[in-house]
Structure 1
Amino acid sequence: MKQLRKPPKYCQGFEDRHGKVRWYYRRPGFPRVPLPGLPWTPEFMAAYEAAQNGEKLEIAKDRNVPGSIAALVASFYQTSDFKGLSDSTKATYRGIIERFRADHGHRLAKEMQLQHVQNIVAKKADTPAAANNLLRMIHLLMRHAVDLGWRRDDPTRGVRKVRNKTEGFLTWEEEHITAFEAHHKPGTRAHLALSLLLYTGQRRSDVVRMGRQHVRNGVLSITQQKTGQDVHIPLHSDLRVILDALPLDNLSFLVTAQGRPFTPASFTNWFREMVREVTTEENGVKKQVLPDKLSPHGLRKATCRRLAEAGCTPHEIMAISGHRSLAEVTRYTVAAGRKDLAKRAIASLDKKEG
């Protein structure tokens, strides 16, 4: 008889009178929190991690009050726009929307005005990315309210995004990759993780799912969880050697120290720790070598950078990365082109002066 996998710690499930199985996070000293979906799914684990961190994600009690924000959220979850999203994106949306519903679910959707939205977003100005993500979710909800006839206009129109000075995820440079590989030798999980990220150019949510079932005739094929895009990537010779050396006792290439699959969030946390482990010692004091901001997504950007520097066209890069917009990958080829032009320019100057 196949043994069922245990749910995460502090999780309890039961079957209600309608035959539906419901799961809750029940930790001593913490409020009971309902969890969506089934244990170990992306949506379930996102809510589980939020509950562990003490974030308030309870479903509003007044969700059925007609015309309320809470009722609007419940209706939005039933739309094709939301149902058509990937599980990981649904979990991300829910995390933001549920916090908004907890704070404003009792209010009527028709009463929300532009200044209300501005005030809500302004309270998160210290975290621009979070503020702009919240603004986007409110926009989706208000647009749905217009579709339902609950209000005539979208109060998010005219609300400016919070200016974010960051340039996004830091791209790994070659010296970063060399330093990481020098510390985390072939055969370690950290080296395997870096190789999968670097030689496939995929997001963390897809890398943690990769296994031998995705490889056939030297080609790794996977459907991207976030976009539903199919990608078919011939294995790089270095990656092929690494994968061939792996044991056959796991369905996924990457697993935790306990032999379980990673969730995307837990993988990022673990990988950042691997980055911090790359140190040097000066006068008996350990010093971190790599920038703390290096992340798994930065290796996806490094893959695009490498492909551009190798002379690949934007469409060739898109075939590997799965990007759907030329604008997202053109900047890599533009940057690589400028680098080559600069080299030729200086070479021409040296030749002329010589």
Structure 2
Amino acid sequence: MEAYQAALSGQAVPRVVATERTQPGTMSALIVAYYNSTEFKTHAESTRYVYRHAIERFRSKFGEKSIAGMQSKHVREYLDEFADKPGVTTNIRRVLNILMGFAVERNYRPDNPMKGLRKSKSRRRSEGFRAWTDDDIATFEAYWPAGSRERLALALLLYTAQRRSDVVKMGRQHVRGGKIHVAQQKGGGQTKLWIPLHPKLAEAIRLTPADHLTFLITRTGGPFTPESFTNWFAAAALEAGLPPRSSPHGLRKAGARRLAEAGCTQHQIKAITGHKTLAEVALYTESVDQERLADQAMAAVEESEKRTSTVKPSERV
């Protein structure tokens, strides 16, 4: 409040040092150390934001508690508060595991209380962002004409299967030799991809004015931020008659699903989406059209039987 009053009156704002607010040996001291570490600072800005959100929520309850006194039962009691929000619970577990692993590495405590903490079974599973269906895509394309920003945004999302943070940065300078180059923002640009241009994406780019640094621009002519792009695109989807929660990330899932339905292996899908593990790819392709794949599988069996000659034994075996 002193800093606030000083700012209102135009005076110099008193500097508050983080170490003056925390007591050594407390969870707050550990959190401050983690925020100042290379491990935290090398994460992408979006990742740091997610981590901070989970950590600060935890600190509000346990900040003054002892690092050494933190036990698995305390974490379990805390997680029970979010039993009806499995997505939140999963994120908190992941972030706290990283934080307590940092505590062990820096000798704040000898063990990680997150290890051995069994996951509770939830009766309902969070599905995350709703994946777009082929009907959704057709409805959107029927409403927004070719050459519109909306159609270009859909083509970029669907035919690159990238995150919104990467799509809003794409421009003609990234297209060479019939491929679009992506240095994914998540992970600090370490994941670099060359993705062949789908004919529909190439046509959408051809219809786009070439006088801007990025393909997608706002009404004022500037680039989108990831957040403003999501709001704009979600509104365009609603206007086209799509269900709520038809987000850009749902098209990333749809792109991965279409690759799976086309018969691509998980390694091939990973080469497009940039996922780090096959488990992540499997999660994104859960909505693969079961009926279509079942038809393909049974047709393959029938074709195999036609090519295989069966010899009847001459005597009983």
TM above 0.5, one fold?
yes
Q: Which residue of 1 aligns with 2:220?
A: 258
Q: CA RMSD in A?
A: 3.1
1:145 to partner: Cα distance: 1.9
3-state SS of the aligned residue for 2:32?
Answer: helix
Structure 1: how far apart are the matches of 2:227 and 2:287? 32
Q: Which residue of 2 aligns with 1:4?
A: none
Q: Which residue of 1 aligns with 2:292?
A: 339
Gaps of 5+ in 1: 1-23, 29-57, 280-289, 350-354
1:343 to partner: Cα distance: 5.2
Q: Which residue of 1 aligns with 2:262?
A: 310
Compute the TM-score of the two structures, normalised by the length of structure 1: 0.71
Matches within 5 A, 1:179-258: 179-227=139-187, 228-258=190-220
Q: For the structure 1 residues 342 and 267, does the alpha-carbon distance in structure 2 shift closer, same or farther, using more than 3 Å as the test?
A: same
1:210 to partner: Cα distance: 0.9
1:175 to partner: Cα distance: 0.8
Structure 1: how far apart are the matches of 2:237 and 2:119? 32
Q: Which residue of 2 aligns with 1:322?
A: 274
1:59 to partner: Cα distance: 9.5
The one-letter amino acid of 2:126's match is T
Structure 1: how far apart are the matches of 2:22 and 2:166? 37
User: Which residue, 87, 94, 98 being the options, matches 1:140?
Assistant: 98
The one-letter amino acid of 1:307's match is L
8 Å Cα contact 1:254/1:262 also seen in 2: yes
Matches within 5 A, 1:1-354: 63-161=21-119, 163=122, 164-227=124-187, 228-279=190-241, 290-329=242-281, 332=285, 335=288, 339-342=292-295, 345=298
Write out the 4+ residue segments of structure 1 that deviate beyond 6 Å after TM superposition.
Answer: 58-61, 346-349
Structure 2: how far apart are the matches of 1:129 and 1:334? 18
Q: For the structure 1 residues 62 and 99, does the alpha-carbon distance in structure 2 shift closer, same or farther, using more than 3 Å as the test?
A: farther
**Higher helix residue share:** 2
8 Å Cα contact 2:103/2:109 also seen in 1: yes
Structure (1 or 2) with the larger CA radius of gyration: 2
1:129 to partner: Cα distance: 1.1
Structure 2: how far apart are the matches of 1:303 and 1:262? 22
1:167 to partner: Cα distance: 3.0
Gaps of 5+ in 2: 9-15, 303-317
The one-letter amino acid of 1:229's match is T
The one-letter amino acid of 1:300's match is R
- Corresponding residue pairs, total: 285
Residue-by-residue CA offset, 1:64-102 (whole Å, 9 max, x unaligned):
421121211121123343233223212221222233334
Structure 2: how far apart are the matches of 1:234 and 1:344? 28
The one-letter amino acid of 1:339's match is R
Residue-by-residue CA offset, 1:213-253 (whole Å, 9 max, x unaligned):
21123211011111421110121222112212222332121
Structure 1: how far apart are the matches of 2:47 and 2:300? 48
Q: For the structure 1 residues 138 and 250, does the alpha-carbon distance in structure 2 shift closer, same or farther, using more than 3 Å as the test?
A: same
Structure 1: how far apart are the matches of 2:164 and 2:142? 22
Residue-by-residue CA offset, 1:22-56 (whole Å, 9 max, x unaligned):
xx9xxx9xxxxxxxxxxxxxxxxxxxxxxxxxxxx
Q: For the structure 1 residues 343 and 126, does the alpha-carbon distance in structure 2 shift closer, same or farther, using more than 3 Å as the test?
A: same
Structure 2: how far apart are the matches of 1:300 and 1:159? 32
Q: For the structure 1 residues 61 and 128, does the alpha-carbon distance in structure 2 shift closer, same or farther, using more than 3 Å as the test?
A: farther
Which is further off, 197-206 or 123-132?
A: 123-132
Q: For the structure 1 residues 328 and 99, does the alpha-carbon distance in structure 2 shift closer, same or farther, using more than 3 Å as the test?
A: closer
Structure 2: how far apart are the matches of 1:85 and 1:127? 26
Which is further off, 339-348 or 133-142?
A: 339-348
Structure 1: how far apart are the matches of 2:288 and 2:222? 40
The one-letter amino acid of 2:201's match is L
8 Å Cα contact 2:132/2:251 also seen in 1: yes
Q: For the structure 1 residues 158 and 326, does the alpha-carbon distance in structure 2 shift closer, same or farther, using more than 3 Å as the test?
A: closer
Residue-by-residue CA offset, 1:136-174 (whole Å, 9 max, x unaligned):
222222222222322232222343445351233322221
Structure 2: how far apart are the matches of 1:320 and 1:145? 36
8 Å Cα contact 2:87/2:128 also seen in 1: no
Structure 2: how far apart are the matches of 1:155 and 1:270? 42
Q: For the structure 1 residues 59 and 269, does the alpha-carbon distance in structure 2 shift closer, same or farther, using more than 3 Å as the test?
A: farther
8 Å Cα contact 2:267/2:278 also seen in 1: yes
The one-letter amino acid of 1:318's match is K
